């Protein structure tokens, strides 16, 4: 990463985690209008000089846990889910390149005809050259979520923060889409997130972030300009870190 600080940015190198749910809507496996809007948000921050890596989920196409509950071998179901993330990665790559961005897709399972294999030093070099790197296929191992993959890759590329784009404002004590009285946290510690089993990321991902002092910001990516605001240091969403937990009120 460049030694020169980028004016107006708190986190010049960041990992963006996008769930598969953000890619599809209204019965569409891939909603191109949604993906296009995500591309606009990403293009804005890259234009400002952010070195951005992305981990995508595949839940709009396939959920390994659901297939396993219906009788499929869990490891095989998870491998199928990894392939689903590659589909989303290629869709996002196409949108970003339409916006004029240089991108690379790297996968944790080899499929050289469509993407590079994950190589840490190569990924870092791509970022230094201003390319967006999209990581697909999770960690390459069954039983691990794409949340854990996002934290792992973030640590490997020396990202300064993980920003998790969601459909809601941030972290609540219960699902705000189902409970009108859900309490919002503007900040919370890793320990409290684990103890209260809050829906930030899975326990493995949070624990790995805590061990490496990697902050997580959970925010609503559907609000235009929010990604840039988060990386600029504005008080958007929920900050998960080793600091004091917030009081549960909106910022």
Q: Which domain holds residue 234?
A: 13-241
What local confidence, expressed as pLDDT, does residue 64 receive? 87
Give residue 246's pLDDT.
40
pLDDT of residue 42: 97
Residue by residue, pLDDT tens for the chain (251 residues) are 444 446 679 999 999 999 999 999 777 899 999 999 999 999 999 999 999 999 999 999 998 888 989 999 999 999 999 999 999 999 999 999 999 999 999 999 999 999 999 999 999 999 999 999 999 999 999 999 999 999 999 999 999 999 999 999 999 998 888 888 999 999 999 999 999 999 889 999 999 999 999 999 999 999 999 999 999 999 999 999 998 444 344 43
User: Cα separation of 150 and 69, whole Å?
Assistant: 25
pLDDT of the residue at 199: 81
pLDDT of residue 212: 97
Q: What is the pLDDT of residue 4?
A: 46
pTM: 0.92
Q: Total structural domains in the chain?
A: 1
Alpha carbon distance 193, 188 (integer Å)? 7
Structural domain contains residue 251: no
Q: Is residue 130 part of a domain?
A: yes
H or E stretch covering 132: strand 132-136
Is the residue at 8 inside a domain? Answer: no
**In this structure, what CATH number is given to the domain that contains residue 159?**
3.40.1160.10
For the stretch 156-189, what's the b/e string if a residue is b when 16 or more beta carbons lie within 10 angstroms of its beta carbon? Answer: bbebbbbbbbbebbbbbbeebeeeeeeebbbbbb
């Amino acid at each position: 990463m460049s030694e020169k600080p980028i004016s107006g940015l708190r986190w010049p190198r960041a990992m963006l985690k996008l769930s598969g749910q953000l890619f599809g809507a209204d019965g569409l496996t891939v909603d191109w209008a949604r993906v296009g809007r995500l591309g606009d948000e990403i293009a804005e921050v890259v234009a400002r000089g952010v070195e951005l890596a992305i981990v995508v989920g595949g839940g709009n196409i396939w959920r390994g846990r659901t297939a396993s509950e219906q009788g499929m071998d869990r490891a095989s179901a998870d491998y199928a889910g990894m392939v689903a993330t590659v589909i989303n990665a290629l869709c996002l790559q196409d949108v970003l390149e339409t916006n004029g961005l240089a991108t690379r897709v790297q996968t944790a399972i080899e499929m050289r005809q469509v993407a590079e294999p994950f190589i840490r030093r190569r990924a870092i070099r791509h970022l230094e050259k201003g390319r967006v790197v999209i990581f697909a296929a999770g960690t390459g191992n069954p039983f691990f979520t794409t949340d854990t993959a996002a934290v792992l890759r973030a640590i490997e590329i020396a990202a300064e923060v993980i920003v998790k784009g969601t459909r809601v404002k941030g972290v609540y004590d219960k699902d705000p889409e189902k409970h009108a009285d859900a309490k919002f946290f503007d900040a919370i510690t890793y320990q409290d997130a684990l103890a209260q089993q809050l829906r930030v990321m899975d326990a493995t991902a949070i624990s790995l972030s805590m061990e490496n002092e990697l902050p997580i910001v959970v925010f609503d990516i559907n609000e235009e300009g929010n990604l840039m605001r988060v990386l600029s240091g504005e008080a958007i969403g929920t900050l998960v870190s080793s600091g004091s937990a917030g009081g549960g009120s909106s910022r």
